[in-house]
Amino acid sequence: MKLNHKLYSKSVLGAGILIAASLFPSCKKEFLNVPQQGQQQSEVFWKTAEDAGKGVNAIYGNMRSYENTAFPAIAIESMGSDDAEKGSTPSDASYFLDFDTFTIDPNQGNISGFWNGQYRNINYCNQVLDNVPAITMDATLKAQYLAEAKFIRALSYFRLVRSFGAVPLRLTVPLDASEYNIPRTDAAQVYAQIEKDLTEATEALPASYAAVDLGRATKGAALTLHAKVAMYLKKWNDVLSYTNTVMGMNYSLLPSFESVFRIPNENSSESIFEIQCALVPGNTAASNSQYSQVQGVRGARGGGWGFNVPTADLAASFETGDPRRDATIIFRGETTPQGDAIDPNGDNPMYNQKSYVPFSLFVNGFNEGAQQNVRILRFSDALLMNAEAANELGNSTQALSSLERVRARARQGNASILPAVTTTDQAEIRAAIYRERRSEFAMEFDRYFDVIRQGRGATVFGPKGWKAGRNEVWPVPQTEIDLSGGILTQNPGY
C-alpha cells in the first residue's frame, strides 16, 4: 500500500484514459452505418434477369391471395348473382346477406378487401413495368415479362372497372406524395387502357410455354380476355376477331365437363388462364389459396366452410338432363364421382362443385383444397363469346356453330339431351347464348357481371333488391373515400 501516491495516481489516470480511449468505438464513423438485417434493399434489386423473373413471379403469387380468390371475390363477384347465396349457417358471416340483398354499407370490409387486392396486383405489375425495361437481359424474355405484367394489370383493372365503374388509374409506381391521392378516372378511359395493355400483351406473349413455365399468361389468354372486355363494351367486331384467332389456336374442350375442374386436368387444352395454386409441403404460407376452402362442403373433414353455395334457382335453371347441373352442384346426400359421401343432414343443401377438391387430398394444417387452381378463362368462354359476337353481327350460322360446340361437349354423347339450337332469330339465339353462359359458367364468378352487361340486371336480380341506376356498380370503399379526404367520390345511391 506504500505506493508513491503521485506516480500511482498518474499511472492509474493514464491507464484509465487508455482504457477509455480504447472503448470509444463510436469515434469511428462506420459505427453507426448499420445496414438493415436480413432485408434486401430496393435500390440493389431490379438489376438482373433473375430479379425481373422474381418480380413477375410475385405478380402471379399474389393472384392466389385471399382478396383475389376468397371472401372479397365472393362478395363482389358472386353473391349478387342469382346463382349463389351466402351458405354456411344462418348467422355465420351474415354480411354476405347484405351483398345478396343489395343493402350493403360502403364500410363493409370485403369491399375494401376486393379493391385493395386488385390494386396490389396492379402495384406488382407496375413494379415490373417501371423497373424491368432498364435491365440488360434477353430482349424476348424481357418483352414476355412486360407483356405478362400488362395482362395481369388489364385483368385487375377489368375486375375493378366492372365492380366500381370509374376508378383511380395507376400505371406507374407513385414517385412521391403528389402522386398518392388521385381522383377516379372515367370508366371509358380505364377500359381504353385495359385494351391497350391487352393489345400490347397479345403481341409479345407466346402462344404456349415449355412445361416448366406452365401457368404463365399466354397470347391466347390475352386475346380471350380482350374479347371479354370488348364484349362488355359491345365491340362485337373485335370480339369476333379475337375469338376467331383463339379458335384457331391449339385449344379444345375436354370430353367430360366435370373433369375440367379436377386437379389432374389443371392447365388442360381447355384452359386459357388459371390462377395457379398448389399444396407445397412444409410451406403453408405458399399454399395460401382459400378459394376451395371457403366454398367447400361444410361438416366434412377436408371439405370447408360452405360459403357461396348454389341457389335452388340455379339448380332449376339447367335444361333437363344437362350433366352440367350435377357437375356444378354438390347435393346434400350425394356421393361425388371421386367417392366422397356428402352428409344428408349437412348444413346446406348444395355446394359449389367447381371449386371442390376430393377430401382425401386434405392435409392437416393446410387450407382445404389449397391445390385447386382457379379457372379464370376457359375455351368454352371464347366459343360462347364468338357465338354472341357473330349473332350480334347477324351471322347466325357462325353463332350457332360455336354455340353447338359448347352444347355438344356438355351433351357428352347423350343425343337425348341438350338438343342443338337451330333458330335463326337473333333475339332467340341471343337468349339461348345467355342461357348457355349461365349453365356453362355457373359458380365461376361470371354470372353477376355478365347479366349486368347484358342490360338485364333489373329483370334478373330485381326481385332480390337490385335497382337500375344504382346497383350496376358497388359502392367505393368508405375507408378509401375517407383517406382521400374527399378526392374520391361515392357512386350514386350509396
429-448: contacts with another protein (CB under 8 A): none
256-275 residues near another protein, rule: CB under 8 A: 267
Maximum distance among all Cα pairs of the chain, rounded to whole angstroms:
123
Cβ within 8 Å of residue 199, ≥6 positions away: 226
- Does 25 help bind another protein (rule: CB under 8 A)? yes
CB of 212 to another protein, least distance (A): 6
CB of 12 to another protein, least distance (A): 6
Select from 104-112, 240-248, 312-320, 449-457 the region that touches another protein (CB under 8 A).
Answer: 104-112
Q: How big is the chain, counted in residues? A: 494
- Does 250 help bind another protein (rule: CB under 8 A)? no
CB of 84 to another protein, least distance (A): 15
CB of 5 to another protein, least distance (A): 8
Specify the amino acid at residue 314. L
Answer positive or negative: Cα dihedral of 164, 168, 170, 174.
Answer: negative
When binding is defined by CB under 8 A, the residue of 119, 191, 351, 359 that contacts another protein is 119
Bridge partners for 275 per DSSP: 374
List the grid coordinates of 363: 392435409
A 10 A CB-CB count for 478 gives 17
CB of 246 to another protein, least distance (A): 22
- Does 84 help bind another protein (rule: CB under 8 A)? no
Show the binding pattern over residues 321-350: x = contacts another protein (CB under 8 A), - = does not. --------------------------x---
| Torsion, Cα of 294, 299, 302, 303 (10° steps) | -40
- Does 112 help bind another protein (rule: CB under 8 A)? yes
Please, what's the b/e burial string for 150-177 (b: 16 or more CB within 10 A of its CB; e: otherwise)?
Answer: bbbbbbbbbbbbbbbbbbbbbeeeeeee
- Does 360 help bind another protein (rule: CB under 8 A)? no
Select from 179-187, 412-420, 435-443, 450-458 the region that touches another protein (CB under 8 A).
Answer: 179-187
Please, what's the b/e burial string for 266-296 (b: 16 or more CB within 10 A of its CB; e: otherwise)?
Answer: bebebbbbbbbbbbeeeeeeebbbbbbbbbb
- Does 88 help bind another protein (rule: CB under 8 A)? yes
Select from 25-33, 334-342, 419-427, 430-438 the region that touches another protein (CB under 8 A).
Answer: 25-33
- Does 94 help bind another protein (rule: CB under 8 A)? yes
- Does 98 help bind another protein (rule: CB under 8 A)? yes
Angle formed at CA 258 by CA 256 and CA 262, multiple of 5 degrees: 110
List the grid coordinates of 405: 360446340
- Does 32 help bind another protein (rule: CB under 8 A)? yes
The strand pair at 374-378 and 350-352 is best described as: unpaired
CB of 345 to another protein, least distance (A): 9
User: DSSP of 114-162, one letter per residue?
Assistant: HHHHHHHHHHHHHHHHHHGGGS-S-HHHHHHHHHHHHHHHHHHHHHHHH
- The residue (of 57 and 454) whose beta carbon lies closer to another protein is 57
Select from 45-53, 399-407, 415-423, 437-445 the region that touches another protein (CB under 8 A).
Answer: 45-53
- The residue (of 62 and 386) whose beta carbon lies closer to another protein is 62
When binding is defined by CB under 8 A, the residue of 12, 312, 341, 408 that contacts another protein is 12
When binding is defined by CB under 8 A, the residue of 4, 7, 38, 344 that contacts another protein is 38
- Does 126 help bind another protein (rule: CB under 8 A)? yes
392-431 residues near another protein, rule: CB under 8 A: none
A 10 A CB-CB count for 228 gives 24
Nearest-angstrom CA–CA distance, 374 and 352 = 13
CB of 40 to another protein, least distance (A): 4
- Check if the beta carbon of residue 273 is closer than 8 Å to that of residue 258: no
CB of 414 to another protein, least distance (A): 34
CB of 23 to another protein, least distance (A): 5
CB of 426 to another protein, least distance (A): 40
